[in-house]
Chains A and B, each alone.
Chain A
Amino acid sequence: MAKQPPRRPKLAVWKFASCDGCQLTLLDCEDELLEVAGHLTIAYFLEASRATLKGPYDLSLVEGSITTPDDAKRIQRIRRQSRTLVTIGACATAGGIQALRNFADVDDYVRQVYPRPEFIRTLPRSTPIRDHVRVDFELKGCPISRHQLLEVIAAFLAGRRPSIPEVSQCMECKRHGTPCVMVTRGLPCLGPVTQAGCGNLCPPLGRACYGCFGPMETPNTASLAGWFAASGTDSAAIRDLFRTYNAAAPAFRRESEAQARTTSSHADDA
């Protein structure tokens, strides 16, 4: 620790369409927060500070998805001002729950929610940040894990790539000795296709993984959906399982669309 960097790197935290939970995770690092603040200059973090510094920024953390024409422009400006840009959370990496509009007619959504639709400016689809600008690293999760966020910041300060495993949730259950909820309870569990990292939360509670960390690398969703169907889950329910917080992540989107086609052809048969 003898050698200090000549100046503290500037951190910026940006928000797009989201719940604030991922940037809150930074404030939830109660034990580490003041230390983190000691290694970085918090240059732009509206949820935490009234003081802002002009860019460029060394590390930008981006929460939220792009859903409005203005935000599509704003992310371009942020990219230009950021040396390293890391997206945090399911909204920023996959479009979030608000990407359910991608499977519907957004004008219909606006009319359902707002009495004066003409006041609302929105895009027909909710899209992840990487659809708009180059992203240096994506941290998944709804919400992200505090430990993984600290790892991303530590790796940035050390100038290395974050060490975030891309294995499935199944590996976590094996490592923790958690009985498989599909085998023992017959529950439709997304663990085999979901990236690990949450800290093995749901299966130990007897709950099936609901995929809040999004698809793992090269997931075989069709095979898993086949197992669900064989154990009595109908295609509408399987569609809904893949259609939550990471609904627009390509692997989950393709599977939910395949299930939706099955659902509608069954409806036609009936």
Chain B
Amino acid sequence: MPTTPETRTIKVGALTRVEGEGALLVRIRGDTVAKLELRIYEPPRFFEALLRGRPFSDAPDITARICGICPLAYITSACQAMEDALGAPVEGALRDLRRLAYCGEWIESHVLHVAMLHAPDFLGVPDAFAIAETDPDLVKTALRLKRLGNRILEVVGGRAVHPVNFRVGGFYKVPNRDAVKALAEPLRWGIEAAVGMTAAVAAFDFPDLDVAATLVALREDGAYPIDRGRIVSDRGLDVPVADFGRHFGEEHVARSNALHGMTAAGEPYLTGPLARYTLNHDRLSPLARQAAAEAGLGPECRNPFRSIIVRMVEVIYACEEALRLVEAYTPPEAPAVPVVAGAGEGHGASEAPRGLLYHHYRLDGEGRITFADIVPPTAQNQKQMEADLRAVVEANLGADDATLRWRCEQAIRNYDPCISCATHFLDVRVERG
């Protein structure tokens, strides 16, 4: 008769080096995971409810306040949803300017995550301040690159956190030519710095882990997806953004103030750098593709631990793309297309640094919001994060508690989870069967 299996409990009371508040509980009985819960205790802020009754024009600035790390993702998805609702598409030079700013946000957010939040796990130190003691050049380069991302946001948007120059239809004022052109030289440096950092992170040790989940990302002609695209998956999905709700849903579980995303079939899916990269490898620039190959990545990457490399490859692309847009910049004649308040329904999606960010609104005859639905990437990834954690725990059962705990934290940080974003959503419409 077998002895009663030993029970171990691994607890992470407060996750660190993530945006927002979460915790993890793992219970292991013998060599099986008896319980695994990622708890989100970040207090809810009820954005979808507080938007009701507000004018359509408030949505970009108010939803920006969901996340201080990726405000432009919220601004962009909200603007596009409102422009869809009110029949005012933004194209050409105005759209390019939005994309330029979005490149800045990718650079700022990705470099923050790579150097300050994620790299310490691979180096076995508690934070980037400790890296600065042993490798000050790496941290200084990262800070300078992050600053460049913020600088782009300041030039185009007026401010890095909660920029003020964006509105439904375009901008309040287009930036002047000289200010934009002055970004070119720092961006040329940025491309080289990003290539160097890609090689540096590629030298880390990567545990084995293979995500089998459906990968979901935006995709569009001729460019790597940043500010817009159609929704595609590695299982053949290819639909307009307006069809999001038909293919994806959410469920509410007791342990979490964030709703868990899932496919219409109830399966977990993955959005974010791995999904973007794998579904859009052919859309990367030659230099970014080459850097990826030299860093040991094939055209697909399904190991979340390697997302740190993918983020750096995306930083290379974002710097190159920003440089291209800067060099082509001529101030548009009008800062915005005309937008007339009225009734409508609209959808918008963009690729936040952490993945697909979907907005959906309905407006009354005066252009006031009657319904809002916001689905952030971290909520979509939560189910898959738990699946990864289970695999990581099972692969490391022999490790002592402290090591296992750290490895679990690292597995969570693979997703650059933004818990502030994940906590608040939507009227859920989970459709089953």
Contact = CB atoms under 8 A, between A and B. Distances in A.
A50 to B, nearest CB: 4
A188 B172 CA distance: 15
17 contacts: A16-B43, A37-B129, A37-B132, A46-B14, A47-B17, A48-B17, A48-B128, A50-B16, A97-B45, A97-B65, A104-B50, A109-B49, A112-B49, A113-B48, A114-B44, A202-B164, A205-B172
A143 B162 contact: yes
Given A18-B420, A98-B45, A46 B428 contact: no
A100 B136 CA distance: 44
A68 interface: yes
B420 A20 contact: yes
B46 A142 contact: no
A247 B49 CA distance: 16
* Interface residues of B, dominant DSSP: loop
A122 B43 contact: yes
A240 interface: yes
Interface residues of B, number: 71
A97 B67 CA distance: 12
Nearest to A145: B159
Interface string A36-54: 0100001000111111100
A67 interface: yes
A210 B162 contact: no
A245 to B, nearest CB: 7
Contacts of B418: 20
Contacts of A47: 16-19
Contacts of B165: 205, 207
A97 B144 CA distance: 32
Closest 9 CB pairs of A and B: A21-B68, A49-B127, A51-B126, A109-B49, A98-B45, A30-B147, A100-B50, A30-B143, A112-B49
A116 B68 contact: no
Nearest to B167: A207
A100 B43 CA distance: 15
Nearest to A202: B164
B424 interface: yes
Contact of B67 (A20, A46, A49): A20
Interface in B3-48: 14-21, 42-48
A212 B163 CA distance: 11
A21 B17 contact: no
